[in-house]
Structure 1
Amino acid sequence: MKTTYHYVCACLVAMAALASSCNDFLDTTPDSRIQVDNEEKVKALLTTAYPQATFVRVTELASDNADDLNGDLNGNYDRFSEQCYRWQPVTESDNENPTMIWQDYYKAIASANHALAAMEKMGGATTEKLRALKGEALLCRAYAHFVLTNVFCMNYSKQHSDTDLGVPYITAPETTLDPKYDRGTVAHDYEMIEKDLLEGLSLMSDAIYDVPRYHFNSKAAYTFASRFYLFYQQPQKVVEYATKALGTNPEEVMRDYDAMKDMPTDNMQPRAIQYTSSSERANFLLLPVYSTDQYYFSGYTNMGGRFNNNSYVGKAEQFFATPWAPDNDAAAQSQQMFKFYWFYSQAKDVFVLPKTPVYFEEYNSANHTGYYRTIVVALKAEEALLNRAEAYALLGENDKALADINVWTKTFVADKVKYNTYKYDDNWNYIYAEQKIDRELTLASIRKWAEKYDYYLPERPLPRKHLHPDWVDLPEGSDKENLVQCILLLRRLEFLHEGMRWFDIKRYGMKIYRREINTSMNLLTLTDSMSYRDPRQAIQLPFEVQGAGLKPNPQPSATEKASFNAWGARPWEFVFKRNDK
């Protein structure tokens, strides 16, 4: 496990050797002090401006992509994951915990700030390469603050963000050991992020990168801009930047699932490696991180067996409840329906997609000790496409939204499905049948899907949840709402195991529940719920950060907690039943 630093920003000590000095002691430069005084050193420093921690476990388990399977009878969990799932302040140590997120993202910010300060001391960004490096530093600073704001704060809201607590927005290197900050507001953070983002976009250049997909290349930067403006509730700008990321022919940058089709299905590693490959055209920004998520979100270990994306969620709300599902139930529940192989492990009872490869970084060859790492696809073509589809739907440009939806669908969904008829030939071998899938979605077919599945209830889980956004009018049953509901499902499938569903829940005010499910698939105990602007939607600051003087996030009062659990614990009939109208 990596060392935890007990400072507001863990990077303050880690990067102190590069800091500009403010006293005589620091002004005396040891022989080992690195002086960042030329283009190549700035470029090298910026490789540390990308975080090596991931928020995926925290936000994925907080979302509705997780249930509690068998309760205390299931020992396949750890206290950290349980705290994430139950929306509790995290007190447990883990490579994926909020302390590591806070520490590593501020460390990345510190590196960006040191690079910017170094360029100023060199006389400014006076060359083409230095201008591009300045652009990269600003984009890194904007991205890290954006993630911190959306993890540790409430979602952006025109009504509330002027008063909602933000995170400290750091724009200069540290020059003291124990600096003091206030949190500001979410609105201020978004204003500063936008300022850095726009300046960074104006300066960036792909020409300076040896391996562009590990840096803020232009496609990654434009995709980040489309995400930022989606969360900032400015759909026209989402369209502008997503289009720049995708180019004139989005099909050309969609994921090549054919590269995975002949890979083994009993071992997810080869498919996960291909998914995160730097040669994959859809991968715009890759982040190597310290993590054991590859064991948690997989089908071949028991880690995460209790709190995870179990088969009940997968069947009722995700893979078996899509707008293009065939009418034949056997065909609709076939893995062959998707180009991307989902893996169902009966022993662990999870639905997983192979996205997180496992790597072991050995630092002591004698003892074979080291760190587990994986690769996170931080920004990708599919996100730019779905961001734009959502923006078009919000703008009322339905035909354009459908066009983007269908580009994604043809990439993710097979054109036909092979399924087991459970009939036998003369040699007692199973007979298989094939059915074509109508992948082309229309307003009519999406309307039919919406009517078929109705709205989610915790005792009757379905893919559509009531939406309560305070920033857009979505009349229930309207074509606009149906389109958004469809896109939210596609995003849920696309971003499974990436932690992004949590932010969609916050943006659209979905009410989600905590449920204890038994293995018989017929009982459910409700233990908690979360509605829009529940204060727990802002992940609590690490206790080390609070100890350093930053104001913690508000927590529900005893009265509010009681209202969340007003029903108490009671069983429900847990039936995968469609609402056939």
Structure 2
Amino acid sequence: MRKLKITLSLLLLISISSCDEFLSETPDNRTQIDTPEKIAELLVNAYPKGSYMEFAETMSDNVFDSGDPSFFEPNNTQNYNWEMNEAVDTDSQANYWDACYNAIAHANKALQAIEELGTPTNLLPLKGEALMARAYAHFMLVTFWSERYNPATAKTDLGIPYVLKPEEVLLEKYKRNSMAEVFAYLESDIEEGLLYVRNDYSQPKFHFNENAAKAFATRFYIVKGDWERVIQLSEELAANPDGKLRDYTSYLALDFNTRVRVYGDATQETNLLITSAQSWYERSFYQNRFQLTGARQDEVVGFSTNLFNKDWNFQILSYNGQITVFVPKFDEYFKYTNPNAGIGNGYVSQVLLSNNEFYLNRIEALVMENRFAEANTAMQYILSTLTDSFDPATDVVTEELIIDKYPVIENEYTPFYELTDKQKSYIKAIAQIRRVDFIHEGIRWFDIKRFGLEVKHDIYNQPTIVLAKNDKRRALQIPLHASSNGIEKNPR
């Protein structure tokens, strides 16, 4: 799909073999979506089937120039230069834009069907899932294609079109909602969705189950700055985190093929929401010039970035003689569309929400509420899972250690809200843990935007390029096919 709008007839263009039985080309002829089973089938596709991880990661300060001219992928180069992708294929910016609005279309159709059936009690869990899925896709869109949220300017800042109902015409025209409007819609969808979501799925980790919904809500509220709500939502996890965070130690005994499969598997307690995205991301570590490099890896995942000056508790593998390095996280499943011609699509299991992120969001909220003793305890717990040879007798998180390890640098972390010097050191420490824990997963870009972090990208034999704090390129340019259909472009 290369249009912002998703009409009911165009839903057929999405690969939904099970839904083909009740979606047809014209509204007058289609089978009614009038049972819980049909609504549930529709919601399977209310999650983006594209991936943001490659372009988000490449824009961040986790990626460097390998200097290998034999590797050249246009999207990779454009992402590294903070440019709009010219291509609209798999893993591109435009592909993810379309994937999000496709997901929203399915969520809205499900919500419409539930309303037409009178919203009976037995459909409330499906309504909750649809609301959370709609909010998630819109949140990801506004995160990438708008400036960072700032309540002081939100009424005039450009958001993205927040689509609340299925489309009834082929070429629907949309205006961009303001950031204030988008965040109000997001909060409404999230809070209502939280009331209804349940865990009654045969495969709950492929749906917005209760914990996934709470984790996503905390991602939203740390951006909005509602620390009390983050703490409230994460109380259950905080009360008993044992065994719920990622067990990196167990991965070390696994062979490579098992390790990349297990990372994104539903059997892992930390994984709350998983999707099988159409993506070639697993291949990018062997094909892209701009990657985490052996020469610069210590700046991101070296022992000096650990609070206790110890190695992190995962294996970093190398390719082409340490020119590029990576943490094994992604396993591609290749599905043939034409076996005789050897043609098909790659799919990668990707973790969209996890207990690790959920827990770190809580720690950040505790810091912002000046509950430093609780933050220390929680930070020590997650570091115990991430640190090689962790010793609880000596590896103790204290205010003095954090302030010494992460001194305040003037004008470095600049969110829209004020930070004390102590909070600045703590936030920097938390951001570093998040940076390491989610290496390759694009999460670092979220922190770069909301904290206003400057990014420098070196290019071999060329001047360093800089993404300054207020650089307009922090908001991706609206895809060409969407702006051609009337969506206002971002200023440049």
Q: Which category of TM-score, normalised to the shorter sequence, fits these structures?
A: over 0.9
Counterpart for residue 500 of structure 1: 443
- Which of residues 480, 497, 503 is equivalent to 2:423? 480
Counterpart for residue 214 of structure 1: 206
Counterpart for residue 302 of structure 2: 319
How far does residue 543 in structure 1 lie from its aligned partner after superposition?
0.5
How far does residue 153 in structure 1 lie from its aligned partner after superposition?
0.6
Counterpart for residue 415 of structure 2: 469
Q: Which amino acid aligns with 2:219?
A: R
- Which of residues 296, 319, 328 is equivalent to 1:354? 328
Counterpart for residue 424 of structure 1: none
CA distance in 2, matches of 1:276, 1:381: 13
Q: Would you say the 8 A contact 1:50–1:108 is kept in 2?
A: yes
The structure-2 alpha-carbon separation of the partners of 1:441 and 1:323, relative to structure 1 and needing over 3 Å to count, comes to farther
Q: Would you say the 8 A contact 1:409–1:439 is kept in 2?
A: no
CA distance in 1, matches of 2:464, 2:312: 34
How far does residue 184 in structure 1 lie from its aligned partner after superposition?
1.5
| Mapping of residues 140-219 of structure 1, within 5 Å | 140-207=133-200, 209-219=201-211
CA distance in 2, matches of 1:369, 1:69: 30
Instruction: Report SS of the residue matched to 2:242.
Output: helix
- Which of residues 215, 221, 227 is equivalent to 1:229? 221
Counterpart for residue 283 of structure 2: 295
* Bigger Cα displacement from structure 2, 316-325 vs 526-535: 316-325
Counterpart for residue 239 of structure 1: 231
How far does residue 533 in structure 1 lie from its aligned partner after superposition?
2.6
Q: Would you say the 8 A contact 1:80–1:93 is kept in 2?
A: no
Q: CA offsets per residue over residues 499-539 of structure 1, 9 Å max, x none?
A: 11111011111111121258xxxxxx543212223110001
TM-score (norm 2): 0.93
- Is 2:191 aligned against 1:248? no
CA distance in 2, matches of 1:317, 1:372: 28
The structure-2 alpha-carbon separation of the partners of 1:215 and 1:27, relative to structure 1 and needing over 3 Å to count, comes to closer
| Mapping of residues 413-452 of structure 1, within 5 Å | 413-415=387-389, 438-450=394-406
- Which runs of 5 or more structure 1 residues have no equivalent in the other structure? 20-24, 327-331, 417-434, 456-463, 519-524, 556-581
Counterpart for residue 2 of structure 2: 6
CA distance in 1, matches of 2:301, 2:165: 44
Counterpart for residue 579 of structure 1: none
| Mapping of residues 468-547 of structure 1, within 5 Å | 468-474=414-420, 478-517=421-460, 526-547=463-484
Counterpart for residue 28 of structure 1: 28
Q: Would you say the 8 A contact 2:2–2:98 is kept in 1?
A: no
Q: Which amino acid aligns with 2:245?
A: M
How far does residue 254 in structure 1 lie from its aligned partner after superposition?
1.2
The structure-2 alpha-carbon separation of the partners of 1:352 and 1:325, relative to structure 1 and needing over 3 Å to count, comes to farther
How far does residue 485 in structure 1 lie from its aligned partner after superposition?
0.9
Q: Which amino acid aligns with 2:485?
A: A
CA distance in 1, matches of 2:321, 2:295: 14
Q: Which amino acid aligns with 2:83?
A: Q
How far does residue 361 in structure 1 lie from its aligned partner after superposition?
1.3
Alignment length (residue pairs): 483
- Which of residues 58, 64, 69 is equivalent to 1:67? 64
- Which of residues 79, 86, 103 is equivalent to 1:84? 79
- Which of residues 250, 262, 271 is equivalent to 1:274? 262
CA distance in 1, matches of 2:108, 2:230: 27
CA distance in 2, matches of 1:164, 1:508: 17
CA distance in 2, matches of 1:290, 1:308: 21
Q: Would you say the 8 A contact 2:53–2:441 is kept in 1?
A: yes
CA distance in 1, matches of 2:47, 2:418: 34
How far does residue 341 in structure 1 lie from its aligned partner after superposition?
1.7
Q: CA offsets per residue over residues 260-280 of structure 1, 9 Å max, x none?
A: 22113xx4x321111111111
Q: Would you say the 8 A contact 1:324–1:438 is kept in 2?
A: no
CA distance in 2, matches of 1:102, 1:9: 11
Counterpart for residue 426 of structure 1: none
How far does residue 12 in structure 1 lie from its aligned partner after superposition?
5.7
RMSD: 2.3
Q: CA offsets per residue over residues 221-272 of structure 1, 9 Å max, x none?
A: 000001000011111111111224x1521123112234322113xx4x3211
Instruction: Report SS of the residue matched to 1:205.
Output: coil
Q: Which amino acid aligns with 2:125?
A: A
The percentage of aligned residue pairs carrying the same residue is 29
TM-score (norm 1): 0.79
The structure-2 alpha-carbon separation of the partners of 1:319 and 1:261, relative to structure 1 and needing over 3 Å to count, comes to same
How far does residue 26 in structure 1 lie from its aligned partner after superposition?
4.4
The structure-2 alpha-carbon separation of the partners of 1:401 and 1:292, relative to structure 1 and needing over 3 Å to count, comes to same
How far does residue 192 in structure 1 lie from its aligned partner after superposition?
0.2
Q: Would you say the 8 A contact 2:306–2:312 is kept in 1?
A: no
CA distance in 1, matches of 2:130, 2:253: 40
How far does residue 437 in structure 1 lie from its aligned partner after superposition?
9.4
Q: Would you say the 8 A contact 1:220–1:285 is kept in 2?
A: yes
Q: Which amino acid aligns with 1:221?
A: A
CA distance in 2, matches of 1:372, 1:495: 22
The structure-2 alpha-carbon separation of the partners of 1:127 and 1:349, relative to structure 1 and needing over 3 Å to count, comes to same
Q: Would you say the 8 A contact 2:7–2:170 is kept in 1?
A: no
Q: CA offsets per residue over residues 177-226 of structure 1, 9 Å max, x none?
A: 0001100111111110110111010011112x110000000110000001
CA distance in 1, matches of 2:437, 2:356: 8
| Mapping of residues 362-401 of structure 1, within 5 Å | 362-401=336-375
How far does residue 354 in structure 1 lie from its aligned partner after superposition?
1.2
CA distance in 2, matches of 1:156, 1:205: 30
Q: Would you say the 8 A contact 1:257–1:339 is kept in 2?
A: yes
- Which runs of 5 or more structure 2 residues have no equivalent in the other structure? 14-18
Counterpart for residue 36 of structure 2: 39
Q: Which amino acid aligns with 2:224?
A: Y
Instruction: Report SS of the residue matched to 2:375.
Output: helix
CA distance in 1, matches of 2:187, 2:245: 27
Q: Which amino acid aligns with 2:64?
A: D
The structure-2 alpha-carbon separation of the partners of 1:436 and 1:443, relative to structure 1 and needing over 3 Å to count, comes to closer
CA distance in 1, matches of 2:484, 2:322: 39
CA distance in 2, matches of 1:504, 1:221: 20
| Structure with the greater alpha carbon radius of gyration | 1
Q: Would you say the 8 A contact 2:62–2:300 is kept in 1?
A: no
Q: Would you say the 8 A contact 1:506–1:533 is kept in 2?
A: no
